[in-house]
Amino acid sequence: MSRHEPFAFEIPAAASVDSQVAYRRSSLWRDAFDRLVANRLAVVGMIIILLLFFTAIVGPYITPYDFLSQDLTARNQPPSAAHWLGTDDLGRDVLSRVIYGARTATIVAFSVTGVSLIIGIALGSVAGYVGGKVDSLIIWLTDFVMSIPSLLLAVVINLSLKTPLTYWMDDMYLATHNPLFRQTIWVDFALVFGALALVQWPSYARLIRGQILTIRNRNYVLAARALGLPRRRILVRYVIPNALGPIVVAVSAGLGQAMVLESAFSFLGVGVRPPIPSWGNMISDGLRVWRHYSHLLAAPAAVLGIVTVAFSFLGDGLNDALNPRQWKE
Amino acid sequence: MTVLLDVRNLETRFKVRKGYVYAVNGVSFQLQAGETLGVVGESGCGKTVTMLSLLRLLPPAARIENGRALFEGQDLLQINRRQLRKVRGAQIGMIFQDPMTSLNPVVNIGLQMSEPLVYHRGMNMPQALQRSAELLEMAGIPDGQARLRDYPYQLSGGMRQRVMIAMALACQPKILIADEPTTALDVTIQAQIVELVKELRDELGAAIVWITHDLGVIAGLAERVMVMYAGFVVEEAAVDDLYDDPRHPYTVALLNSLPSVSETKGHRLASIGGSPPDLSARPHFCPFLPRCRYAIDKCQTENPPLRPAPGVDAPRHRIACWVDVQERGQT
């Protein structure tokens, strides 16, 4: 049994003096939160990400222009009071499109991470609990899936499934005029990012399996069993809370990664297709004309960069805050 | 005196990559109500596995192959999980070697201590917390009410072991199994914990099984001692009989290797040469043979059963040895 218990550290003198002066209910989660807040970069990252989520939810209702409305008399305009980030080659407001892009990125990030987390939790905990042959099988499966390059998978799905399906939907719409077949954007989301989720889950599955394997051999779980507590109580009170830290960190990193992948896919034309704005396809469009209208490239690229860095700051901060073993004074 | 726990011919083995490890090989013992039984032996001789087998807390690789463990008319090795959970914690409490890792790090002391009270005693949360505070103070932790909100990492090793003891005794079990509870603690804290357990035993009248590899610790605590080696009980006697008149060569060697205050300085501490045997097969000879100074031919062909020690008055002094150590020792 390892003696390097994650939480077996000394409280620093300053903290214990504090708790004597003003008795405050301290908990490990609160301590972790305190350490997170004490980390300036993490706070900056957190604020940017909260802003991003806020924008994703309410953004499209507060944009100055509709993200689709074209104004052919005002094409490729540089930033001005009327268009803070200028307009693109069809006279669409870039700010409105960047804001809508936040929604696209957030939807993709949450759905990809959510789906892969659900698959990961299910398979990972089965592997960890059942063990034996089932465990070997699931581990083999994760190895297999991890060896698939996600970009290649997206291209293949794009060609083999998405394009025919989109044509079929167009035909169906022309034939039936059923509004169900009108919007093909959901095909983009479901297929491409479904595929993304299918290749992202193995890392979660392995993480959760590892957590369960270590925690169920911990002495405190044995002690809880010796107290006669039922299995469900042990799971809820002992296993899950102790497993949560690394999973929170992984999810935060996974959200950022999914956003970047969405942009990369859209940039290459296999993700979200125009006219629905995505930072990726905006960068792709802007890249063609960047010598003349550099704001068309700069705006979405800067936003993507800032968000990526913010996720990385928050992930690092969470990792330090929830993992006191690495906690240095 | 009534027999509280009657263990008969307990056998436990572990499945490993190549075959099995025979960890417990036919252990039988009885525990009287209110009695303190010491279990001694070096690491890997089956002390802990025996006790874990009784509560069926073994790791998945281990299996109980044979035996009975009668506790209040029910066989602990046969009852279903639901019944077993009613025994664990409520009737038989257990404390472990390493208090640093035996408490859940993310739940505070109060919630952790309340769990068994709520589950076994059907208390509501305020009652359970109230009782937990009392238990903490009983276990020698001042201001129990305030400590309920503390997290394990805020307590020292000795304090944590006190919490573990308070928790194990929360439902007033009839038996407390203590698996080397003082090994991870320094000597002064060790003495305090032993004192605490003594006090609580006298107060609550629980029977205690105290596992240790330190004969010194149980001298002042146990009434009866069981010496284990390679998964066998090799000697069992009242504590005074064992110390005054050890009969098994292993016990003799263990007692010889105790440091003594009266001994002259510069004297090298005696040790037992070699190490415990490989248990990948059940030995058909005496398992102590390779390390035994007194071995005779018979030791190589037959494993001695546990039987009353020859030439001893004490009725319950039993050994598993073909040789009369006292006699051979003089020649």
Query: Which pLDDT score is estimated for A26?
Result: 52
The CA distance from A285 to A89, in Å, is 9
Lowest mean pLDDT, pick from A254-268, A285-299, B129-143? A285-299
pLDDT at A137: 94
Predicted confidence at residue A205, as pLDDT, reads 92
Are the C-beta atoms of B28 and B226 separated by less than 8 Å?
no
- Most A CBs within 10 A among B101, B135, B145, hence the mutation to make, goes to B101
ipTM score: 0.86
Pairing mode, strands B36-40 and B224-229 = parallel
A8 chain-B contacts, CB cut-off 8 A = 100-101, 105, 153
* Contact across the interface for B105 and A28, Cβ inside 8 Å: yes
pLDDT at position B1: 67
Q: What is the DSSP string of B48-104?
A: HHHHHHHTT---TTEEEEEEEEEETTEETTTS-HHHHHHHBTTTEEEE-S-TTTSS-
Residue A16 — very low, low, confident or very high, per pLDDT cuts 50/70/90? very low
Q: Residue B188: its pLDDT value, please?
A: 84
Across residues A86-113, what is the average pLDDT? 83
Confidence of residue A324 (pLDDT cuts 50, 70, 90): low
Residue B253 to chain A, least CA–CA distance (Å): 29
Please give the mean pLDDT across all residues of chain B.
Answer: 86
Q: Which of A7, A28, A233 sits opposite B115 (nearest CB)?
A: A233
A328 touches chain B (CB under 8 A): no
pLDDT at A22: 36
Mean pLDDT, rounded, for B100-128: 89
- Select from B43, B86, B104 the residue whose CB has the most chain A CBs within 10 Å, as the one to mutate to test that interface: B104
Is the per-residue pLDDT at A8 higher than 50? no
CA–CA distance, A93 with B208 (Å, rounded to integer): 80
For residue A217, the model assigns a pLDDT of 84
Per-residue model confidence (pLDDT) at position A139: 93
* A227–B116 CB contact, under 8 Å: yes
Q: A25-39, A154-168, B102-116: lowest mean pLDDT where? A: A25-39
Query: Across the interface, do A8 and B115 touch by the CB < 8 Å criterion?
Result: no
Which of B147-171 are b and which e, b meaning 16 or more Cβ less than 10 Å from the residue's Cβ?
Answer: bbbbbbbbbeebbbbbbbbbbbbbb
> Which residues of chain B are within 8 Å of residue A134 when distances are taken between CB atoms?
none
pTM of the entire structure? 0.75
Residue of chain A minimizing CA distance to B100: A8
CB contact under 8 A, A7 and B100: no
The pLDDT of A208-225, averaged and rounded, is: 89
- The answer to whether the CB atoms of B164 and A227 lie below 8 A apart is no
With contacts defined as CB-CB under 8 Å, which chain A residues touch B167?
223, 227
Average pLDDT for residues A191-196, to the nearest whole number?
Answer: 78
Which pLDDT does position A329 carry in this prediction? 36
Q: Specify whether the CB–CB gap between B197 and B221 falls below 8 A.
A: yes
What pLDDT, on the 0 to 100 scale, is given for residue B208? Answer: 93
- Residue A327: predicted pLDDT: 43
| Range from A87-96, B56-65, B206-215, B294-303 carrying the lowest mean pLDDT | A87-96
What does the alpha-carbon distance between residue B243 and residue B225 come to, in Å, rounded to a whole number?
A: 10
Cβ <8 Å between B149 and A25 = yes
Among the ranges given (A156-160, A162-166, B247-251, B327-331), the one the predictor scored with the smallest mean pLDDT:
B327-331
Mean pLDDT across B73-100 = 90
Q: Which of B113, B103, B91, B173 is nearest to A223 (CA)?
A: B103
Show the CA angle centred on residue B318, arms to residues B313 and B323, nearest 5°. Answer: 90
Residues of A in contact with B107 (CB under 8 A): 237-238, 241
Cβ-defined contact of A8 to B105 (cutoff 8 Å): yes
- The 3-class secondary structure across chain A, one letter per residue, is CCCCCCCCCCCCHHHHHHHHHCCCCCCHHHHHHHHHHHCHHHHHHHHHHHHHHHHHHHHHHHCCCCCCCCCCCCCCCCCCCCCCCCECCCCCEHHHHHHHHHHHHHHHHHHHHHHHHHHHHHHHHHHHHHCHHHHHHHHHHHHHHHCCCHHHHHHHHHHHHHHHHHHHHHHHHHHHCCHHHCCCHHHHHHHHHHHHHHHHHHHHHHHHHHHHHHHHCCHHHHHHHHCCCCHHHHHHHHHHHHHHHHHHHHHHHHHHHHHHHHHHHHHCCCCCCCCCCCHHHHHHHHHHCCCCCCHHHHHHHHHHHHHHHHHHHHHHHHHHHHCHHHCCC
Return the residue of B nearest to A129 by Cα: B60
A11 touches chain B (CB under 8 A): yes
Q: Is A20 on the interface with B (CB under 8 A)?
A: no
**B318 membership: H or E segment, kind and range:** strand B318-319
**A105-151 confidence digits (pLDDT tens):** 888 888 899 999 999 988 998 888 777 889 999 999 999 988 888 78
Q: How confident is the model at residue A3 (pLDDT cuts 50, 70, 90)?
A: very low
Q: What percent of chain B is predicted at pLDDT more than 90?
A: 27
pLDDT band at B8 (very low <50, low <70, confident <90, very high): very high
Q: How confident is the model at residue A7 (pLDDT cuts 50, 70, 90)?
A: very low
Predicted confidence band of residue A17 (pLDDT cuts 50, 70, 90): very low
Mutate to test the interface with A, among B55, B147, B153, B155 (most CBs of A within 10 A): B153
Percent above pLDDT 90 for chain A: 10
- Say what the pLDDT of residue A142 is: 93
CB pair distance less than 8 Å for B104 and A26: no
Q: How confident is the model at residue B184 (pLDDT cuts 50, 70, 90)?
A: confident
Nearest to B89 among A9, A25, A228 (CB): A228
Residues B168-175, mean pLDDT to the nearest whole number: 89
pLDDT of residue A28: 65
The dihedral built from the CA positions of residue A257, A262, A267 and A271, taken in this order, carries a sign that is positive
Q: Which of residues 110-149 of A touch B (CB under 8 A)?
A: 131
pLDDT confidence of residue A199: 81
CA distances from B34 to A213, B39, B197, B210, B307 (A): 38, 16, 13, 13, 25
Q: Average pLDDT, stretch B31-35? A: 90
- Note the pLDDT of residue B5: 92
Average pLDDT (B228-239) is 91
> Does residue A11 have a pLDDT over 60?
no
Report the pLDDT value the prediction gives residue B263, as an integer from 0 to 100: 63
Q: Inspect the interface and report whether the beta carbons of B88 and A225 lie closer than 8 Å.
A: yes
pLDDT tens figures, A242-256:
888 888 888 888 888
- Residue A9's pLDDT is what? 41
Residues comprising chain B, all counted:
331
Q: What is the model's pLDDT at position A323?
A: 67
Residue B93 to residue A225, Cβ atoms within 8 A: no
Average pLDDT over all residues of chain A: 79
pLDDT at residue A23 tops 60: no
Q: Using the structure block, give the residue that is written with the tokens 């000795």.
A: B158
Residue A10 confidence (pLDDT): 41
Contacts of A228 in chain B (CB under 8 A): 84-90, 116, 119-120
Size of interface A-B (CB pairs under 8 A): 105
Q: Are B167 and B112 in contact (CB under 8 A)?
A: yes
* Least Cα separation, residue A54 to chain B (angstroms): 31
What DSSP element (H or E) covers B40? strand B36-40
Q: Give the pLDDT band (50/70/90) at residue A288.
A: confident
Mean pLDDT of A12-35: 53
